[in-house]
A = this chain, B = another copy of it.
């Protein structure tokens, strides 16, 4: 083997900037035309690369979309950890409301939800991404609040998350009506009340 070769033999070196450009192109194509009409050709054209660059990374459209979407879903919702349930709750509501109002998310989410009804692999990936967030929120934010004594011991963590995210999703993604800070505060206050949370010391 020539000493000038930088990559290990047999392994393809995938340039990170090209991968990033393709990921970005996939998200924009998904938002614009939807999964059903998305083509590898259009993705490659938008990313400014050849189709081979795409196929070197993913073997087909389904695999590509699943891997990219779950990657974005995992990164996209940071988990607040402020030491107070009231503040964690407000921050979560704020972050989720921004995510649901994001132009790209608001087009990609309904499209993939529709595909999920017909494609079990998409359903599984989407469900896994959603459940990961649901569990992380319920275990971390709700679980820690119970430990700190801010929420009653018998609190149902899953129900608590449904009460936080449900109204936001209903208003933003279903009714497609924008929300303001006042609305977020009202929902947060009603979650606090309905869970019997100890109000923050002021």
Residues of A within 8 A of B (CB): 34, 36, 106-107, 110-111, 113-118, 123, 127, 130-131, 134, 156, 159, 162-163, 165-171, 174-176, 183, 186-187, 190-191, 193-196
CB distance from A25 to the nearest CB of B (A): 19
Pairwise interchain contact B163-A167, C-beta atoms closer than 8 A: yes
* Contact among B106, B130, B156, B163 with A175 in the assembled complex (CB-CB below 8 Å): B130
CB distance from A198 to the nearest CB of B (A): 15
Pairwise interchain contact B174-A159, C-beta atoms closer than 8 A: no
How far is it, in angstroms, between the C-alpha of A175 and the C-alpha of B194 when the chains are bound?
22
The closest CB in chain B to the CB of A169 belongs to B170
Q: List 24 A-B contacts (CB under 8 A).
A: A34-B114, A36-B36, A107-B118, A110-B114, A110-B117, A111-B117, A113-B174, A114-B114, A127-B175, A130-B174, A130-B175, A131-B175, A156-B186, A159-B167, A162-B170, A163-B163, A163-B167, A163-B190, A165-B166, A166-B170, A166-B171, A169-B169, A190-B195, A194-B194
CB distance from A115 to the nearest CB of B (A): 8
Number of copies: 2
Pairwise interchain contact B186-A159, C-beta atoms closer than 8 A: yes
Residues on B with C-beta less than 8 A from A183 are 159
Residues on B with C-beta less than 8 A from A169 are 166, 169-170, 174
Across the A-B interface, give the 3 residue pairs with the lowest CB-CB distance, nearest first: A166-B166, A166-B167, A114-B114
Query: Which of A127, A156, A166, A195 has most B Cβ within 10 Å?
Result: A166
Given known A-B contacts A130-B174, A167-B167, A190 and B186 have beta carbons under 8 A apart? no
CB distance from A102 to the nearest CB of B (A): 13
